[in-house]
Each structure stands twice: as structure tokens, then as C-alpha cells.
Structure 1
């Protein structure tokens, strides 16, 4: 804290430059946080992580592929949940450290999602859909139904490429 004394012996307390800089920086960080609405983003990321993990449960009841062996839905879902929790914490306690942690975790979740998409694409290409072999009752065999959506997604991705 700086003090100034004038010729008439009046004392003035001047603002400390470090305090002003810190206050301005905290206000800028708070404004940036409000623009991004981290609580909404965090809740969305947590829900997305839970959806990824819950949609992966049926994968354990069909033929195991590389996606199941590598546990892609589990670790990608956990990374999204972690990113969401950090964003929710950022909304409650906005500091420079939590802001930087949120940025790092979101970058990691982006990289993990790209790796997961590549893994799913390779898995769909290696395990195409099976053809329908009719059973005695006229329905197709179980392999057709377990790979039906894989074939549909694979043909869609080929047409987009």
C-alpha cells in the first residue's frame, strides 16, 4: 500500500498497482467464465460420459471386438465425466488454476474422443455386418442382428468419405 503526503501535510492512501492488477485479472477471469457457462458445459459432458458408458453395456453380450478389449467406451466415458466435473468445479470456484485445469482436461477429452472415433472406425471396418442366414422359424441368425447397425454405420461413413 502506497502513501502520499502533500505539502499541507495531508495524507493520501494510494492504490497498490499489484492489487489493481489482481482485481482486474480476477474480474476478467470471472467475465470469461460467465461467457462460457461452464456449469452447463460440465453437466453436458457428464451426461455424455454416462451415455457413452451405458451404450457400451450391450457390447459385452455380443462377439468381443477390439473396442471391448481396449475398453474404449469406459475410458472415453470417464474422461468426459472428469472434464464435466472440472467444469462444474470451475463454475463454483473460479480461480486461474481451475480455469487452466479445465482447459487441459477439455483438450485431453478432445484428443481421447478423436482416438475413440478412430478406434471405432477401424473396428467397424474390420468387423463388417454378417449376412442373414434364415433359421427354421424364418428369422435371421443372431450374428446378423448384432452386426446390423455396424454395417449401417459403416456404409454411411463410406458414403460420407
Structure 2
């Protein structure tokens, strides 16, 4: 910390070296994060979450299976949207606290996406497509079309969730790397000053 004393005994604390270093590292952090395009990844997560939730609506009109009874499309879609929103906020406000929050949310999103993938796979294995039993008019029975629709929707949800897993994993990797690179400088935030601050000495009389 540099100190300057003027002739009238006014003391000025000049710019702190730590503050300048912190500013430089924050700018470098912002540049590094923006190179990773968290906004694009966040928008992708939001879109995938909305698609998962909207595509699951037809499943409520067919036979209920594990996917619907456990509410997989809803909690996984909401988690994807939350992770995407936090990533978009990180792009606008690059701080270590938001980066850590985004990293935690992305890790949770990745874990839940893997859990959802397992549930989708088990559900598809346990509920095969019903055979086509043709009626007198020559068309298959309703159960065949119902199970066929259900499996098609679940296969789409499986692909969307797989894409979300990849996006979340990539974002986790990028955020962890940035946190590891810039983490040692986060302790400077509390001690850093924004600029010169005049200190008035007590009266000598």
C-alpha cells in the first residue's frame, strides 16, 4: 500500500497494487469465460429444458410408466433451464461467486441428466411396443399405437437429455478450469480498494 503526505498533512492512500492486480485478473477472467461462450451454452440448456418439458406432454395421455410417475421430464427440464439461466447471468456478471454457483448448478444438472438417462433407458426396456392386432377394418389396435407413440416420445427425450448431458459436462469442464486458474486471486476482493482515499489527520491543537 502506497501512502502520500501533502504539505497540509493530508494523507492519501494511493492505488493498491493488489487492487490493480485484482482488476487485471477480473478482466482476464471475463475474457476467458467469454471465450468459452457460456451464454451460448446457457441458451442451449434453456432450449433443451423447454423441449424436454413440452415433448413430454403427450405422455400424459397414454399409459403411465416410470418416466411419468417419477416426473422425470419436469424436474430434469427445470434443472436444465435453471443451469442455463445461471450460465447466461455468468456471461453478464463475471465474478468468482457467480462462477462457483454456476459450476455447482452445472454439476448437479449433469448428475440429474445422467439419472434421467438411466430412467429413460430402463423404461424403454421394460415397456416394449405392443404387437399389432388388426381389427376387422384392417387397422392395428389402439394399444399398439399408444405404445408406439410413447416409445417414440421417450426416445426423443432420451436424445435431448443426452445432448444436455454433453452440454453440462462441457460447461463444467470450462468452469472448473477457469476456477482453478483464477481462484487464488479471489481473496484479494475484500482487501482491494477502488481508488485513492483521503485521510484527514486529527487536529494538533
TM-score for both structures, normalised by structure 1: 0.82
Partners of 1:146 and 1:65 lie apart in 2 by 12
Structure-2 separation of matches of 1:100 and 1:28: 17
> What is the CA-CA distance between 1:103 and the residue it aligns to?
1.2
How far the C-alpha of 1:127 sits from its partner, in A, is: 0.9
User: Alpha-carbon deviation of 1:15?
Assistant: 5.0
**Equivalent residue number for residue 129 of structure 2:** 129
Partner of 1:3: 3
Aligned-residue CA RMSD in angstroms?
A: 2.1
**SS in structure 2 opposite 1:143?**
helix
List gaps (5 residues or longer) in structure 1: 6-12, 154-161
CA–CA separation in structure 2 for the residues paired with 1:143 and 1:18: 70
Q: How many residues align?
A: 146
Partner of 2:97: 97
Q: How does 1:1-161 map to 2 (within 5 A)?
A: 1-3=1-3, 16-148=16-148, 150=151
**Partner of 1:31: helix, strand, or coil?**
helix
Structure 2, unmatched stretches of 5+, are 6-12, 156-205
TM-score (norm 2): 0.66
* Higher RCO (C-alpha 8 Å, min separation 6): 2
Q: Which runs of 4+ in 1 moved over 3 A?
A: none
What is the distance in 2 between the residues matched to 1:18 and 1:136?
Answer: 84
With 32-41 and 81-90 compared, the bigger mean Cα shift is at: 32-41
